[in-house]
Structure 1
Amino acid sequence: MKINWGTGIVIAFALFMTFILYFVFKVQSDSKYDNELVVDEYYKHDVHFGDEMVRIQNAHDLAQKPIISNAQEGITIVFPNIFVPNKIKGNVSLYRPSNKKLDFEVQISLSNPTLLIPKKSLVGGQWDINMEWQYEGKSYLTKETIYIN
């Protein structure tokens, strides 16, 4: 039996579609290819995007900004001396992009200008840090990415 061009193209197209469908079903059914969203309620979060941008701009406009760094004992957040530590309120959210179950929050309650998040509560890899804080009625949002070894 001789296969002409038209038959060959149809066979190649059918094989390609079979491969794509197999790949789609494999990825959707296998738990190691988990398709989690960063935020559970994406659309509700997106409504407040303008407020978030104002808080980010407030943090950007500061002459002296808080410093988030990776230290030997964990993640340190050092606020400048222009801020009175006990007047700073808010929380630090640590997001693990690879595993939602490792996400956690730390309340900001300071007696000195340094906040330490101990290394024992952090798994090695990438951490996205969102620090939402208020000082004298003004809200700020600082975002950083830290890599823990």
Structure 2
Amino acid sequence: MDWGKGIVLTIIGFVVLIMTMVVISVKMDGIELVTENYYEEEIKYQDRIDESKSADELGRQVISFDKQSKIIELDLPNGSKGSLQLFRPSDSTLDQEIKVDVTHTGITQIPLKELKSGYWKIKLNWTENGVEHYQEEKITL
């Protein structure tokens, strides 16, 4: 075999490899956006920053996760209302939203035993004394 045939075979092999990768990537399932309403969420992002700052000013960690017992603990005062989003970046079908309405003093516990193992983002929006707050935690089950 001479140099010409070797170069042609190398180019053909490279083109076949690239075309195979393109076909595989086009047929992939499970490629999902972070959120369906991406642009609306982006417009509200400054509000999210302000809510995060107000949560930081509280001087306490509101969300804590106990990995042993798979329980989220929320340190919210009586009368707080909000929502807890369990966000799975790799599969949006597993996402959940839990309404939070604190009617007692002390720690509110939310069990996560039924969730699939893996990486999760916990997003908590709540109103405390008429002020909106937001806090986010990343956990691995």
Whether TM exceeds 0.5 here: the answer is: yes
SS in 1 for 2:137: strand
Match of 1:59 in 2: 55
Are 2:45 and 1:49 aligned?
Answer: yes
Q: Identify the residue that residue 116 of structure 1 maps to in structure 2.
A: 109
Q: Which runs of 5+ in 2 are unaligned?
A: none
Please name the residue that 2:82 is paired with.
90
Q: Identity of paired residues, percent?
A: 26
Quick check: 2:86–2:95 contact (8 Å CA) kept in 1? yes
Q: Secondary structure at the match of 2:133?
A: strand
Distance 2:63 2:92 in 1: 25
Hey, which bits of structure 1, 4+ residues long, moved more than 4 A? none
**Structure 1 residue 143 corresponds to structure 2 residue 136:** yes
Count of residue correspondences: 140
Aligned Cα RMSD in Å?
A: 2.3
1:4/1:76 CA distance change after superposition, 3 Å: closer
- Output the TM-score relative to the length of structure 1: 0.80
Give the residue type in structure 2 aligned to 1:107.
Answer: K
For residue 25 of structure 2, the aligned residue among 5, 24, 27 is: 27
TM-score, normalisation: structure 2: 0.84
Separation in 2 of the partners of 1:4 and 1:43?
53
Distance 2:9 2:140 in 1: 48
Q: Distance in 2 between matches of 1:115 and 1:64?
A: 15
Cα deviation for residue 12 of structure 1 reads 3.3
The one of 36, 39, 49 equivalent to 2:35 is 39
Question: Is 2:72–2:112's contact at 8 Å kept on the other side of the alignment?
Answer: no
SS state at 2:3 partner: coil
Q: By how many angstroms is 1:61 displaced?
A: 1.9
Contact 2:88 2:119 in 1 (8 A): yes
Residues 20-41 of structure 1, C-alpha deviations (whole Å, 9 max, x = no match): 221121122133xx21111112
Question: 1:72 Cα shift?
Answer: 4.5
Aligned equivalents of 1:37, 1:20: Cα separation in 2: 25
Q: Alpha carbons of 1:72 and 1:109: their partners in 2 closer, same or farther (altered >3 Å)?
A: farther
After alignment, is 53-62 or 70-79 more displaced? 70-79
CA distance in 1, matches of 2:132, 2:90: 29
Tell me, yes or no, if the aligned pair for 2:63 and 2:137 is still in contact at 8 Å: no
